[in-house]
Amino acid sequence: MRLNDEQQMLQDSVARLMADKGPVSRLRELRDSRDEKGYDQPLWQAMVEAGLTGILVPEEHGGIAFGLVGAGLVAQEIGRNLSVTPFLSTAVLGATALSTGATAEQQSKWLPAIAEGTALVALAVDEGAKHRPDSLNTRYEGGKISGDKLLVLDGHVADLLLVAATDGSDSALYLVDPKASGVTIERTIMADNRNAARIQFDNVEAEPMADGAAALQAALRAGRAVLAAELAGLSREVFERTLGYLKERKQFGRLIGTFQALQHRAAQLMIDVTMTEALALQALDACDNNADDADAQVFAAKGKAARTALLAGQEGVQMHGGIGMTDEFDIGFFLKRARAGGETLGDANFCADRFATLGGY
């Protein structure tokens, strides 16, 4: 697919915004200052003003309803800059879940708040080392939820928790107030310096959705597709920084970019990055159009993006040599995010497994 004019304009303006207000140096500042919120509040405010928090919120709730391709374009630039925002948790996972499955009342309460930037939302799905959304131990029974969650992105700052639980037959999302009695939240800082949380629910009051099962599935699919775009953007950035280094670093009296073995590896990396970008956009578009193979495309895109981002991070560090190993230099941040983003909502193996099942083998 190619971007239409509107999408192209969005991409250009988001690219400027992220480079201006959310560059990698902000991630470093937040880390070094041990920021309590753990996300870039001025940037988030700027995104609110630009309407980006409402990119998936329907217009009747104050959003701009730009579709997943739009959200993916934002995510690409987030990936390029490693901008630290609750965009994925709130504007993608939260908005998708609520607009898909919430009751009219729930929507009216929360969707405008997301668009206006007055509420942060966090999705609590994972319970163990790996993403296994189909075998949940968290139970919903008689209006109450009990269970332990981890990797709840932005969970310690959220105003609303969407908790995946099973009522014995279906897995669905339930609304939980983070301040409700029985909720214990522990902020966990991950290797990529992003926020996640471990949250325990001990017989906590929870509100069902109109269709919480659909909400869960839609949020996961949207999240994976948008993450694919973020990782594609990250990969592109690492590739370009590395290519630049190949053109400027001298060793053995010549630019290291003249070494054929590195040239071929750089070319192979560029190809992987370019394919990943194309696939991510195509998968987002397939979701927007509810294409028959949208699920397969999303699993392919997320899996491919996870592998490409990791490869880019690995090659990026290796080709930078010693300097790439230092914390002072930025490339390591990308490697860390590549792995954390690759893991989130299902790693490459998880995606391959689902992709194969959809393919009938």
Partner 1 sequence: MSDLEQFRAETREWLQANCPEEMRQPVRGPEDHCWGGRKWQFQSDAQRVWMERMAEKGWTAPQWPQEYGGGGLTPEQAAILDEEMKRINARTPVSNFGFWMLGPALLKFGSDELKRKHLPPICRGEIRWCQGYSEPNAGSDLASLQTRAEDKGDHFLVNGQKIWTSYADKADWIFCLVRTDPNATKHNGISFVLFDMETPGVTTRPIELISGESPFCETFFDDVKVEKDAVVGELNRGWDVAKYLLTHERNNIGGEPPGYLKGRALGPLAAEHVGTENGKLADSALRADIARLETDHMAFRALVAKVRAEAEAGEGVGALSAVLKYYGTELNKRRYELMMDAMGAEGLEWESERTQGGMFASEWLRSKGNSIEGGTSEVMLGIVSKRVLGLPDA
- Answer for the pair 174, 208: CB distance below 8 angstroms, yes or no: yes
Q: Which does 32 bind (CB under 5 to 8 A by kind): partner 1, its own copies, none?
A: none
Nearer to its own copies, 108 or 263 (CB): 263
Smallest gap from residue 286 Cβ to partner 1 (A)? 10
Nearer to its own copies, 8 or 263 (CB): 263
The residue count of the chain comes to 361
Rounded Cα–Cα distance for residues 311 and 353 (Å) = 20
Contact characters 297-326, partner 1, x per CB under 8 A: x-xxx-xx-----x---x--xx--xx-xxx
Rounded Cα–Cα distance for residues 292 and 170 (Å) = 23
Contact characters 250-269, its own copies, x per CB under 8 A: ---------xxx-xx-----
What b/e string do you get for 149-174 counting C-beta neighbours within 10 Å, with b at 16 or more? Answer: bbbbbbbbbbbbbbbbbbeeeebbbb
Smallest gap from residue 358 Cβ to its own copies (A)? 22
- Answer for the pair 189, 38: CB distance below 8 angstroms, yes or no: yes
Contact characters 152-181, partner 1, x per CB under 8 A: ------------------------------
Rounded Cα–Cα distance for residues 236 and 256 (Å) = 20
Which of the residues 39 through 78 are near its own copies (CB under 8 A)?
none
Contact status: 135 vs its own copies (CB under 8 A): no
Nearer to partner 1, 164 or 266 (CB): 266
The CA-based dihedral angle spanning residues 27, 226, 276, 245, taken in that order and rounded to the nearest 10 degrees: -10
**CA 283-287-293 angle, 5° bins:** 70
Which of the residues 230 through 249 are near its own copies (CB under 8 A)?
none
Rounded Cα–Cα distance for residues 148 and 199 (Å) = 6
Beta pairing, strands 160-166 & 207-208: unpaired
Amino acid at the residue 33:
S
Which of the residues 264 through 303 are near its own copies (CB under 8 A)?
264
Q: Which does 335 bind (CB under 5 to 8 A by kind): its own copies, partner 1, none?
A: partner 1
Which of the residues 187 through 226 are near partner 1 (CB under 8 A)?
188-193, 196
Which of the residues 235 through 274 are near partner 1 (CB under 8 A)?
243, 246-247, 250-255, 257-264, 266-268, 270-271, 274
φ/ψ of 264, rounded to 5, equals -65, -40
Tokens of 288: 């927007």
Nearer to its own copies, 259 or 329 (CB): 259
Smallest gap from residue 354 Cβ to its own copies (A)? 21
Binding residues for its own copies, rule: CB under 8 A, are: 259-261, 263-264
